[in-house]
Amino acid sequence: MTNSNRDKLFSKPLGKVPKFVFDSSVVDVFPDMIQRSVPGYQTIINLCGELAARYVRPDSNCYDLGCSLGASSLAIAQQIHQPGVSILAVDNSAAMLARCETLLHQDNTSQQGQSPATIQLVEGDICDIEITNASLVVMNFTLQFIAIEKRQALLEKIYAGLNPGGCLVISEKLLFEPESVNQLLSELHHQFKSAQGYSDLEISQKRDSLENFLLPETLETHINRIKACGFNAASPWFQCFNFASLVAIK
């Protein structure tokens, strides 16, 4: 995931800011954009590898839902030593998957394919794909882009496709109550982005672009939904400002 171009997509005044899309201009800067926008991103990706080491079983599937450039899939693959494991990396952006394929090929060459797991790229909507025989499902910063009314059905499908003892990771931007706390954590996130070199103009235009597209919910809403699907246990394991990662075990 190196050689990323610097994200300057929102650096010039855009007038009416267009709705965010995962197109080739985003793909070109994506690793830089996500590292400088999501506090704790790399920690969360690394943890997916640790969880893979614990939960992935031989002859099972892992799903990376909203895989973008495959960061989570690679972290998972590096920790898998069992035979017969397929990692299905799913995204509905053709531009993302095309770049992901190139990066996976480079990684495979540089690391000489050390993992016995295979990574298969699947172009599709995560709400439409089948999930079967899964020992690990990760959804890092993707559920937030799914229409709220589709989230329960998606979680139920994941639950049904996980084998007993299987693990689900959901990482999201969160909403907080009361509004005073939400405001504080948003401001701390803003401060984080400033410290990463984003100008106030970039931060505010990006926020406008994501308005009504990235739809955060409270931690309580996420936990209640996860439990309503039947998961035995669910807990946040990481939080930095208004970003968190949750783990749930079937």
Which residues from 97-126 bind ligand GEK, rule CB under 6 A?
125-126
Residue number, 125 or 211, with CB nearest to ligand GEK: 125
Q: Does 91 sit near ligand GEK (CB under 6 A)?
A: yes
Which listed residue (60, 115, 135, 140) binds ligand GEK by CB under 6 A? 140
Write the CA distances from 223 to 147, 180, 232, 245, 246, integer angstroms: 17, 22, 11, 11, 8
Residue number, 67 or 226, with CB nearest to ligand GEK: 67
Write the CA distances from 6 to 31, 45, 92, 177, 247, integer angstroms: 9, 20, 24, 34, 32
Helix H, strand E, coil C: the string for 51-120 is HHHHHCCCCCEEEEECCCCCHHHHHHHHCCCCCCCEEEEEECCHHHHHHHHHHHHHHHHHCCCCCCCEEE
Q: Does 63 sit near ligand GEK (CB under 6 A)?
A: no
How many residues line the site for ligand GEK (CB under 6 A)? 21
- How near is the Cβ of 180 to ligand GEK at its closest, in Å? 26
Residue number, 11 or 232, with CB nearest to ligand GEK: 11
Which listed residue (60, 61, 93, 205) binds ligand GEK by CB under 6 A? 93
Neighbours of 106 (CB within 10 A): 12
Q: Does 145 sit near ligand GEK (CB under 6 A)?
A: yes
Binding site for ligand GEK (CB under 6 A): 22, 34, 45, 66-68, 71-72, 90-93, 96, 125-127, 140-142, 145-146
